[in-house]
Amino acid sequence: PTENKHDLTHVASLFDMRADLVHGHPYGSGHINDTYCAYYDQAGQRIRYIHQRLAENVFKEPVKLMENVGRVTDHAFNKLVEEGNPEAHRRTLTCIKSTEGKPYAVDKDGSVWRTYPFIERARTYDTITSTDQCVAAAKAFGEFQKLGADLGGEPLFETIPNFHNTKVRFQTLIEAIEKDEHNRAKDVAKEIEWFMARVDEGSKVVDMLEAGEIPVRVTHNDTKLNNVMLDDVTGEGICVIDLDTTMNGSAVYDFGDMVRTATSPAAEDEKDVSKVTMRMHMFDALVKGYLSSANAFLTDKERELLPFAGKLLTLECGTRFLADYLMGDVYFKIHRDGHNIDRTRTQIALVESIDQQMGEMEALVQKYSV
Ligand code: ADP
Ligand code: MG
Ligand code: MG
């Protein structure tokens, strides 16, 4: 898109910019929010900011979401400054305050906006082309968790309730099977049986969190490569972005979702499931990167869960695809008949691939834990 759907002059007036808007344009390849890059003149210097309008159909409580983001980014920035990090302003997102001193502003139509300084000399990548990128991204997500580890205060607002509650996810699937509103269960009897054999595994981490065996942490919950800015020169992961789903949860959810989204060469909806495999060199890169920053704060129990985490998050995603198929494709957009079954089958294939390689995965976690 090249046209501005929104009046950026109005948006600029809502924030304490201390600079004059020159021009702005739609930016990035995000699918959720409306993102703009805007150039400002600040005493003769050109500087860029990101203005983002939160998708109101997706986020029902945008103000509470932004209070989470404000708390987490303030804490991260202060900590980086205290540690003497010379690049604190590049190592975390920071919210430009509104004219009312808030980390967000509400425009004349009632939409919620936020403004971030533009992270310069770095970019995001939509596809992974090297294991180095995997190491860098995983390290950055570990650093993000590390910065949030001592946040303190009230729990964060649960922006998307039960987002990674795999117990509830399985329950939702079971209800969809029982209702079978579209008479589709008969087409997926094998898949249903496969998931029903794994219900117990689905509650493992949730039960451990509830029992206090592993800690509740600040987690990102959307740990895709394209949510990390990699430095243009060094390739290092310098800043984690896209904090909309930042909530409290288990550290292993973030790691598990990296394994789910980064280790298989096949698309999530690949019809030929023989192409779906957990590639060990990618897992190696993820463990290496993640533990280089997270090893210091993870508990032994969390570390032990890392090989299982990829399986758990893949199971979770599979239950969502299958339940959505049974409910008539109401959540995930479909582009062909049976699209959500194809997606379900890739998740099954990935779990099976992980199962076959579990011993080697455990050995790698051991190797990078010392
Ligand atoms: P979405 O939730 O829609 O994916 P993101 O927050 O990931 O939105 O932002 C979309 C794109 O905008 C990112 O992929 C990134 O390239 C760019 N972007 C977001 N924040 C910044 C920033 N502070 N500095 C530079 N680029 C950014
Ligand atoms: Mg994003
Ligand atoms: Mg997002």
Residue 12 lies in a domain: yes
* Partners of 115 in the β-ladder: 51
Q: Please, which residues have CB less than 5 A from ligand 2, an ion?
A: 30, 227, 242
The verdict on 220 and 302 lying in the same domain is yes
Picking from 142, 146, 140, the residue whose alpha carbon sits closest to that of residue 119 is 140
Q: Which residue has the tokens 């691939």?
A: 353
Residue 66 lies in a domain: yes
The alpha carbons of the chain give a radius of gyration, in whole angstroms, of 21
The verdict on 136 and 110 lying in the same domain is no
**pLDDT tens profile 238-261:** 999 999 999 999 999 999 999 999
Helices 251-262/131-148 angle, 10° precision: 160
**CA-CA distance, 284 to 232, in Å (whole number)?**
24
Picking from 223, 260, 255, the residue whose alpha carbon sits closest to that of residue 343 is 260
Q: Give 309-367 as a DSSP string.
A: HHHHHHHHHHHHHHHHHHTTS-SS--SSTTHHHHHHHHHHHHHHHHHHTHHHHHHHHHH
Nearest CA to ligand 1 atom 15: 28
Residue 126 lies in a domain: no
Q: How far is the CA of 73 from the centre of ligand 3 (A)?
A: 16
Residue by residue, pLDDT tens for the chain (370 residues) are 457 889 999 999 999 999 999 999 999 877 789 999 999 999 999 999 999 999 988 889 999 999 999 999 999 999 999 999 999 999 999 999 999 999 999 999 999 999 999 999 999 998 888 999 999 999 999 999 999 999 989 999 999 999 999 999 999 999 999 999 999 999 999 999 999 999 999 999 999 999 999 999 999 999 999 999 999 999 999 999 999 999 999 999 999 999 999 999 999 999 999 999 999 999 999 999 999 999 999 999 999 999 999 999 999 999 999 999 999 999 999 999 999 999 999 999 999 999 999 999 999 999 999 8
Picking from 181, 255, 171, the residue whose alpha carbon sits closest to that of residue 221 is 255
Q: Are 249 and 163 in contact (CB under 8 A)?
A: yes
Domain end marker among 120, 153, 183 = 120
Residues with beta carbon inside 6 Å of ligand 1?
A: 27-33, 35, 50, 93, 116, 118-119, 124, 226-227, 241-242, 244
The verdict on 176 and 312 lying in the same domain is yes
The verdict on 101 and 140 lying in the same domain is no
* Partners of 122 in the β-ladder: 231
Domain end marker among 120, 140, 162 = 120
Residue 169 lies in a domain: yes
> Which ligand neighbours the alpha carbon of 124 most closely?
1
Q: How far is the CA of 29 from the centre of ligand 1 (A)?
A: 8
Structure token pair of residue 330? 């109401």
Q: How far is the CA of 242 from the centre of ligand 1 (A)?
A: 6
CATH number at residue 166: 3.90.1200.10
The verdict on 284 and 351 lying in the same domain is yes
**CA-CA distance, 23 to 48, in Å (whole number)?**
10
| pLDDT (0 to 100) of residue 82 | 97
Give the ligand 1 atom nearest the CA of 31.
3
Domain end marker among 92, 120, 148 = 120
The verdict on 81 and 149 lying in the same domain is no
CATH number at residue 55: 3.30.200.20
CA dihedral 40, 41, 47, 48 (to 10 degrees): 10
The verdict on 199 and 332 lying in the same domain is yes
Nearest CA to ligand 1 atom 12: 28
Q: Which residue has the tokens 């090893």?
A: 295
Q: Are 322 and 173 in contact (CB under 8 A)?
A: yes
Structure token pair of residue 34? 């409306």
The verdict on 144 and 288 lying in the same domain is yes
Amino acid symbol at 279: R
**CA-CA distance, 126 to 130, in Å (whole number)?**
12
> Which ligand neighbours the alpha carbon of 221 most closely?
3
Q: What is the complex's ipTM, to 2 decimals?
A: 0.97
The verdict on 116 and 137 lying in the same domain is no
Split into its structural domains, the chain has a count of 2
Determine the structural domain holding residue 205 and report its residue range: 131-369
Residue 1 lies in a domain: no
The verdict on 113 and 224 lying in the same domain is no
**pLDDT tens profile 55-107:** 988 889 999 999 999 999 999 999 999 999 999 999 999 999 999 999 999 99
Q: Are 288 and 282 in contact (CB under 8 A)?
A: no
Residue 3 lies in a domain: no
- CB count within 10 Å of CB 72 equals 23
Residue 2 lies in a domain: no
Residue 125 lies in a domain: no
Give the ligand 1 atom nearest the CA of 93.
23
Q: Measured in whole angstroms, how far is the alpha carbon of residue 180 from the centre of its chain?
A: 31
The verdict on 83 and 157 lying in the same domain is no
> Which ligand neighbours the alpha carbon of 159 most closely?
3
The verdict on 200 and 344 lying in the same domain is yes
**pLDDT tens profile 306-338:** 999 999 999 999 999 999 999 999 999 999 999
Helical (H) or strand (E) element with 207: helix 204-210
| pLDDT (0 to 100) of residue 190 | 98
